[in-house]
Amino acid sequence: MTENRFDPSTADGRWQRAWDAAGTFTADSNSDKPKSYILEMFPYPSGRIHMGHVRNYTMGDVLARYKKMQGCEVLHPMGWDAFGMPAENAAMEKKVHPGAWTRSNIEAMKAQLKRIGFALDWTREFATCDPEYYGHEQALFLDMYAAGLIDRRSSEVNWDPVDMTVLANEQVIDGKGWRSGAEVEKRKLDQWFLKITDFADELLEGLGELKDWPDKVKLMQENWIGKSSGLEFSFELSNGEKLPVYTTRPDTIFGSSFVAVAADHPVAQALAGDADVAAFIEECKKGGTTAAALETAEKLGYRTPITAKHPFTGEAMPLFIANFVLMDYGTGAVMGVPGHDQRDFEFATKYKLPITRVVAKDVSEADAPMGNEAEAGDGVIVNSDFLDGKTVEDAKADVIARAEAGGWGQGTTVWRLRDWGISRQRYWGTPIPFIHCDTCGIVPVPKDQLPVTLPDDVDFETPGNPLGRHATWKRTTCPKCGGAAEREMDTLDTFTNSSWYFLRFASQPVDAPFDPAEIAKWMPVQHYIGGIEHAILHLLYARFWTRALSSIGKFDVKEPFAALFTQGMVTHETYRVGDGPWLSPAEVRIEGEKAFAIDGGEEVERGRVVKMSKSKKNVVDPDNIIANYGADAVRWFMLSDSPPERDLPWSEAGIEGCYRFVQRLWRLFGQVDSSATGEDKALARKAHQAIVAVAEDIEALSFNKAVARIYELTGAAEKAMPSESRNFAIRAILHMIAPMMPHLAEEAHELLGESALIADATWPAHDPAMLVEDEVTIAIQHKGKLRDTITAPKGAPKEDIEALALASEKVQRSIDGADIRKVIVVPDRLVNIVT
């Protein structure tokens, strides 16, 4: 070989074009091969591919190419999650249409993905803002409506009283609107809901089948669904009404010292004639709607003149209106047990209400004083009449049984999961296919009138809902009575777009959302890869849509993703001078431990390594890196070092190391010597072991370990003398790196005289006989510390190993004549001598 360097700037494009021309990665659903559907969470077209995308898609790409080498027919598609707020923000800031902005972003990002050489089936590409896509989504939505899975009710949103617009949680900063700076209020609107709670039990039970999901994600979903059992019962109020409450701790009922209702509870609303009560309810409306905001806000209460009668003691307890009680959970009213619930404790402390101990470690500690926080732990019941001495579990059952027998309450199951509100007061989303008619009420758009498309001529100058302001779009006729009517102006939450896109990838008929026969062939997704930030919402919604569509007979799949993998983020050091503006890596020169601003030469503080973000300016653009080092070096970096579920710190030194390795491999591939003869058993054994180990590592998505093994085998092959074994090892390395560094692999494959694409090659075969070693190294410990190691034949009897261990001079010196009390021998591994 004369040319000694691999040149990605020519090779990358050449092989990308070759794959395109051959249709190498176009999935054939009629193939006889076993099917494998590999999917990464599709991107939002924000404008540029970032390193997080590169990492995510590289992992999926390695899996897809590997599965193909193992003989599978692989479906590995790509598309665009194209609706969302940033497009409307761009419209306001840059005066471009959200659609035009989105389309040009897609074009730019697609070109970027192509330059990285991903093995994607681009014939199935779509964007969720395509009317063909969202029209089918509208049809599915109407099917769910017909099946009773959708309803409409009032719900709270963040309201900006200055801009007169609904704000997303993200747009509420410290309780204030992000543009106006006005104090945000809660406001009620009529909105559409998907009845995900109808599937709460199924979604919980279904987690059990997901063997290849991370336990942590399943646990998070389980807690999110939040199945709890408890007691629902009614207090008799002093005004003659009954107040239903729900509690998960009926065992602590004797510790109850107050009752509280939510500010929007009917009991509170009925008192709103009083100016003080009205003012308090108004006060409760302040602030945003997030759980974090509600739970960290100061606990506020208003003591009403009403009292509630304790069901056992008959005591009259004060009734409060409280800001920490949620109308959405349980019945919107709670019994307050300050001794054993932290929120109740804080509330009781503030309003000087009795705090009674009713659970103790032991009966003898019934009178132990309470500390400065609630005790939510387990124990026995005390100070509770007939419950005294019972365990928490027994007491719960006893109280529920007595309530049911007495007819004043019953044991119930309550879910933390709430129905999914899908109405958004925005333009750039799927129009909700309903019509509001004064005569007929709410009428679904007939399916033959779908898709309901977005109008193009909209203005974003004034805040609020652009569809509502449009001159003509909302005007239509009622499908029922033919009279004048208005279209629904809200659009669907973008999470609905990502709840079924994986089904559309599997088949794309024109006249239907999907083809059930194709779904049967490809689903479930064999490997789904994406960020941990989607652990709950997106994944739960996608599971829900799959089950909901399955329940109405669309297909026969219950769980969409057989295996899930959540990858870590790509991080980078941060740079700034004092409290000044952040500097990007490109604006900084590193010298040893120190860093200096290129512009001005000032010393720059090297800050923490955090997720790459625009706000910290610690971003590295994949395009520049690919231009400098080629796609394969970047791909290799993404797979090296950090375990894929952890964060990956980007560094210039690291990518340079990867580039050097690309060149090292290139030189090695040039050293296949067809005239070489003879066997190099040690090297051959290493190669066979690596073939098995790398395959196992890829299947476990432990790419960092696969990379380490390839480094080891490469080092051994470089040092070895020419032989047939060495040629075998080099070719094995070539095939093993093919899924990871496909451009280099194709170029070397061609150089070795192969005419076919290595992308179509099969994974190298191994000889099982070559996997076992004949000798093992055994560690000898004394007093728990390593004293010596010995070499012994594999599988040697315990007695022989013990004798060898005791014969060691170093071991004898350490024992120093002491009595040997015990010798533990772990075959082929270790001897531990206890004196």
Partner RNA sequence: GCGGGUGUGGCGGAAUGGUAGACGCCGGGGACUUAAAAUCCCCUGAUCCUAUAGAUCGUGUGGGUUCGAGUCCCACCACCCGCACCA
Nearer of residues 351 and 544 to RNA, judged by Cβ: 544
Least distance between RNA and beta carbon 17 (Å) = 28
Give residues with Cβ within 8 angstroms of 828, minimum separation 6.
776, 778, 792, 794, 795, 796
* Cα separation, 772 vs 689, whole angstroms: 9
DSSP of 120-133: -BGGG--BTTSHHH
Report the site for RNA in 158-177 (rule: CB under 7 A): 158, 166-171
- Contact status: 647 vs RNA (CB under 7 A): yes
736: helix, coil or strand?
Answer: helix
Residue of 84, 99, 177, 409 that binds RNA (CB under 7 A): 84
- Contact status: 794 vs RNA (CB under 7 A): no
Q: CA separation (Å) from 362 to 240, 354, 372, 381, 391?
A: 40, 22, 20, 8, 10
Residue of 13, 18, 24, 86 that binds RNA (CB under 7 A): 86
Residue of 223, 229, 364, 762 that binds RNA (CB under 7 A): 223
Q: How many residues bind RNA (CB under 7 A)?
A: 95
Applying CB under 7 A, the span of 435-443, 471-479, 669-677, 715-723 interacting with RNA comes to 715-723
Determine phi and psi for 240, rounding to 5 degrees: 90, -10
* Cα separation, 163 vs 180, whole angstroms: 6
- Contact status: 414 vs RNA (CB under 7 A): no
Nearer of residues 291 and 818 to RNA, judged by Cβ: 291
Q: Residue 58: name the closest of 567, 563, 454 by CA.
A: 567
| Number of CB atoms found within 10 A of residue 437's CB | 20
Nearer of residues 151 and 315 to RNA, judged by Cβ: 151
- Name the strand (E) or helix (H) holding 745: helix 742-751
Least distance between RNA and beta carbon 306 (Å) = 27
Torsion of CA 5, 6, 10, 11, to 10 degrees: 160
- Contact status: 269 vs RNA (CB under 7 A): no
- Are 701 and 213 in contact by the 8 Å Cβ rule? The answer is no
Least distance between RNA and beta carbon 791 (Å) = 9
Please report how the helices 652-669 and 631-639 are oriented relative to each other, as an axis angle in degrees rounded to 10: 110
Nearer of residues 53 and 749 to RNA, judged by Cβ: 53
* Cα separation, 258 vs 307, whole angstroms: 9
Nearer of residues 447 and 594 to RNA, judged by Cβ: 594
Least distance between RNA and beta carbon 29 (Å) = 28
- Contact status: 607 vs RNA (CB under 7 A): no
Altogether, the residues listed in the chain come to a count of: 835
Determine phi and psi for 127, rounding to 5 degrees: -115, 145
Nearer of residues 147 and 537 to RNA, judged by Cβ: 537
Residue of 357, 588, 787, 801 that binds RNA (CB under 7 A): 787
Residue of 563, 577, 761, 834 that binds RNA (CB under 7 A): 834
- Contact status: 620 vs RNA (CB under 7 A): no
Determine phi and psi for 444, rounding to 5 degrees: -70, 145
* Cα separation, 247 vs 228, whole angstroms: 10
- Contact status: 455 vs RNA (CB under 7 A): no
Least distance between RNA and beta carbon 556 (Å) = 27
Nearer of residues 84 and 117 to RNA, judged by Cβ: 84
* Cα separation, 394 vs 378, whole angstroms: 12
Nearer of residues 226 and 468 to RNA, judged by Cβ: 226
Report the site for RNA in 179-208 (rule: CB under 7 A): 189, 191
Region of 648 (left: φ > 0; alpha: ψ -120 to 50; beta: rest) is beta
Applying CB under 7 A, the span of 112-120, 145-153, 416-424, 504-512 interacting with RNA comes to 416-424
Report the site for RNA in 102-161 (rule: CB under 7 A): 157-158
Nearer of residues 111 and 168 to RNA, judged by Cβ: 168
- Contact status: 786 vs RNA (CB under 7 A): yes
Nearer of residues 270 and 700 to RNA, judged by Cβ: 700
Residue of 611, 724, 802, 806 that binds RNA (CB under 7 A): 611
Residue of 443, 708, 796, 806 that binds RNA (CB under 7 A): 708
Nearer of residues 303 and 418 to RNA, judged by Cβ: 418
Least distance between RNA and beta carbon 112 (Å) = 17
Least distance between RNA and beta carbon 614 (Å) = 13
Question: 779: which DSSP letter?
Answer: E
Nearer of residues 229 and 439 to RNA, judged by Cβ: 229
Report the site for RNA in 278-337 (rule: CB under 7 A): 289-292, 295-296
- Contact status: 413 vs RNA (CB under 7 A): no
Applying CB under 7 A, the span of 397-405, 698-706, 721-729, 762-770 interacting with RNA comes to 698-706
Residue of 424, 487, 686, 731 that binds RNA (CB under 7 A): 424
- Contact status: 391 vs RNA (CB under 7 A): no
Residues 690-722: b if buried by 16+ CB within 10 A, e if exposed: bbebbbebbeebbbbbbbbbbeebbebbeebee
- Contact status: 824 vs RNA (CB under 7 A): yes
- Are 732 and 763 in contact by the 8 Å Cβ rule? The answer is no
Sign, CA torsion 130/136/140/143:
positive
Question: 803-822 mask for RNA (x: CB under 7 A)?
Answer: -------x---x-------x
- Are 596 and 550 in contact by the 8 Å Cβ rule? The answer is no
Least distance between RNA and beta carbon 96 (Å) = 17
DSSP of 44-67: P--SS--HHHHHHHHHHHHHHHHH
* Cα separation, 536 vs 533, whole angstroms: 8
Nearer of residues 229 and 777 to RNA, judged by Cβ: 777
- Are 504 and 464 in contact by the 8 Å Cβ rule? The answer is no
Report the site for RNA in 459-498 (rule: CB under 7 A): 493-495
Q: Residue 411: name the closest of 522, 178, 249, 197 by CA.
A: 249
Least distance between RNA and beta carbon 311 (Å) = 28
| Number of CB atoms found within 10 A of residue 223's CB | 11
Least distance between RNA and beta carbon 116 (Å) = 19
Applying CB under 7 A, the span of 379-387, 396-404, 513-521, 535-543 interacting with RNA comes to 535-543
Query: Which two three-digit tokens encode residue 87?
Result: 């497009």
Nearer of residues 156 and 518 to RNA, judged by Cβ: 156
Report the site for RNA in 660-679 (rule: CB under 7 A): 660-661, 663-664
317: helix, coil or strand?
Answer: strand
